[in-house]
Chains A and B, each alone.
Chain A
């Protein structure tokens, strides 16, 4: 769930937001429907927005009994402490990790690797996966596989990989890149961005060897129901919690 001013929104290819409801209600509904984990991403940049988001994190922790990750606007250890203190189970860092990779080491050392999710936005250009900053707006010198390996060695507990090429397009996850990550790394890989139908989730697990799959709009707008999706995945031989 992308959160702006305390409300859930979902981007299509990182622009054009559509409203998709109240974050705590939506999270509770997903928990009941069988979601295994939730991710809340703060996309407000303002100080006021951050305070609202911290309050929201407290509400989520109080009301929802499954693990949840929070991200967005995390630049330093103070932000990590604020969000974990509010009850988040994990924090997801993206641009801040590229700007200051030492932050990964610090989070892992202070709170354990299980707390530290490194999110990577990458776009496939001329045969290479280029990592981007600031929600996919600024290209960097970093390449996906090298950066993911460095993040792991610094203490990332999980990699959340969003393909900007696939996000919002609904034609499936980047399975080849996911499988390369799974082969090179020893930490869980979460596939993010691109799901349009149930088969895409199956392929992320079988072809992409992903440990988890994240999706937003197909769930927010009721195009795929989580209970039906999990029943389907189990039928396809994938071990999922029902």
Chain B
């Protein structure tokens, strides 16, 4: 299978690369439009700041490439947030695949620590990226911004408030958590994506 990882100035590209290699797949890490369009699956990872990253994507024409993809695409963490319409981080206009806004977490009590960092459970998981086996399982999160629940929510996590742990619309899939750092559960979710 031909899997491409979108190459840009993101922090976790190599963790995703390693995770796929553990599943026996050697992905192509590329920013080339033709290579991305030709891939069977495309992964859009992301760790970083929204406005800087969107500027980078626009400067390299990757915004249009991502919007034009027709094969299954998986956005991870910042990758998921950038697939939304806009983000409060840096007041950024994003890619608009999911017509919803990314919000900043606001603590309600002293124990609410931001970023939301660590293991938490996913519930109300939807078919596609998930199977019922993933319902209630722990996955690994690191984020200060969140996507509220919306019509494309494909899994829910409760931290300060219930938010979208995953999204799905047409060929676009996304997770707020890091499947590449979520142990055996994360490996299963990546496998689910690869078999779509």
Do A67 and B14 have beta carbons less than 8 Å apart?
no
Complex CA–CA separation, A66 to B47 (angstroms):
16
Do A188 and B22 have beta carbons less than 8 Å apart?
no
Q: Which of B112-151 contact A (CB under 8 A)?
A: 113-115, 117-119, 138, 140, 142
- Chain A contacts of B110 at CB under 8 A? 183, 186
Do A65 and B117 have beta carbons less than 8 Å apart?
no
Q: Which of A49-68 contact B (CB under 8 A)?
A: 61-63, 65-67
Question: What's the nearest-Cβ distance from chain A to residue B179, in Å?
Answer: 9
Do B183 and A31 have beta carbons less than 8 Å apart?
yes
Given known pairs A188-B117, A241-B119, the reply for A65 and B138 (CB within 8 Å) is no
Question: What's the nearest-Cβ distance from chain A to residue B54, in Å?
Answer: 17
Do A114 and B117 have beta carbons less than 8 Å apart?
yes
Majority secondary structure of chain B interface residues (helix, strand, loop or mixed): mixed
Given known pairs A114-B142, A186-B107, the reply for A61 and B14 (CB within 8 Å) is yes
Given known pairs A87-B18, A111-B11, the reply for A65 and B183 (CB within 8 Å) is yes
Question: What's the nearest-Cβ distance from chain A to residue B133, in Å?
Answer: 15
Question: What's the nearest-Cβ distance from chain A to residue B78, in Å?
Answer: 10
The reply to whether the CB of B70 lies closer than 8 angstroms to some CB of chain A is no
- Chain B contacts of A84 at CB under 8 A? 11
The reply to whether the CB of A36 lies closer than 8 angstroms to some CB of chain B is yes
Q: How many residues of A contact B (CB 8 A)?
A: 25
Do A61 and B15 have beta carbons less than 8 Å apart?
yes
- Chain B contacts of A62 at CB under 8 A? 18, 21-22
Do A65 and B181 have beta carbons less than 8 Å apart?
yes
- Chain A contacts of B187 at CB under 8 A? 65
Q: Which of A167-215 contact B (CB under 8 A)?
A: 183, 186-188, 211-212
* Residues of A that sit less than 8 Å from B by CB: 31, 36, 61-63, 65-67, 84, 87, 89, 111-114, 157-158, 183, 186-188, 211-212, 241-242
* Residues of B that sit less than 8 Å from A by CB: 11, 14-15, 18-19, 21-22, 47-49, 107, 110, 113-115, 117-119, 138, 140, 142, 180-184, 186-187
